[in-house]
Structure 1
Amino acid sequence: MKLNLILLVVATLVACAASWECTPSDWARYKKEYNKYYDSNEADLFHKNTFCETIINIEANNHDFTNGAVNTKISVTAFTDLSPTEQEEYRKSHGFIRKRKPKPIKKEEEDDQEEE
């Protein structure tokens, strides 16, 4: 029984992953919409692969959103073809500062603050 359930889950995941694909027309439409041009075929291929990986992640996230597993729906942006490193470099060069959540105060630190 457990094996059948595992096989069913795996088959479902494979079917879903197969439905999330990135076609050459998706890439061409994205480049046209966001005015993307690259210096070389290698750069174009790198960004296309990054774009396709991101599209698959977006589709998976939005599938989870529809099922209530996550709280945020995401979409394609002008940054969809950028690697995480390129995105961070862009943020830094344009003055964006990533806000970090404050570290939670540990119980010992609370006691120390009250004594002061």
Structure 2
Amino acid sequence: MNFKLTLVIVATFIACASSLNYKCTQSDWAKFKEEYNKSYELAETDLFHYNTFCENLIIIEQNNHDFDTGEAVHKLSVNKLSDLSPPEQQEYLKAHRVQKVRGSKRTTTEAYE
């Protein structure tokens, strides 16, 4: 997907989500880091990934709201990639040779275990 298009989609989701009052808290971030054993040496790096996590959490919550109202066809959930931007996620998936199975809703390999 084109990076600019991805940014537009993310911005749209964030705008919609903010109107529905989805929130991301330091508690959400701490829980995520503990569950997925994440830590960052620099405060700036932690802040970057916190902001990315919050953007992704808002997208997840908006999508799941849309699923509940019949506007989306699948639910999303937090996983170990939720602190990564879309380009970082793609890079991770390439590095771990994750491939979509044609016709499948799930991605195969250990990346999501």
TM over 0.5: yes
Point out the structure with the larger helix share. 1
Would the alpha carbon gap of residues 14 and 74 (structure 1) be closer, same or farther in structure 2, given more than 3 Å must change?
Answer: closer
Please give the TM-score of this superposition, normalised by the length of structure 2: 0.70
Matches of residues 1-20 of structure 1 in structure 2 within 5 Å?
15-16=19-20, 18=21, 20=22
Residue 78 of structure 2 is matched in structure 1 by 76
Residue of structure 2 in register with 1:56 after alignment: 58
Following superposition, the deviation at residue 39 of structure 1 comes to 2.4
RMSD: 2.1
Bigger Rg, which one: 1
Tell me how far apart the structure 2 counterparts of residues 23 and 14 of structure 1 sit (CA, whole Å).
14
Sequence identity percentage: 52
Identify the match of residue 45 of structure 2 among 24, 43, 46: 43
Q: CA deviation at 1:14?
A: 5.7
TM-score by length of 1: 0.68
C-alpha distance after superposition, 1:38-78 (max 9, x if no partner): 12111100000000011111111000000001110111101
Question: For structure 2, which runs of at least 5 residues remain unmatched after alignment?
Answer: 1-16, 104-113
Shift of 1:93: 1.1
- 1:23 maps to 25
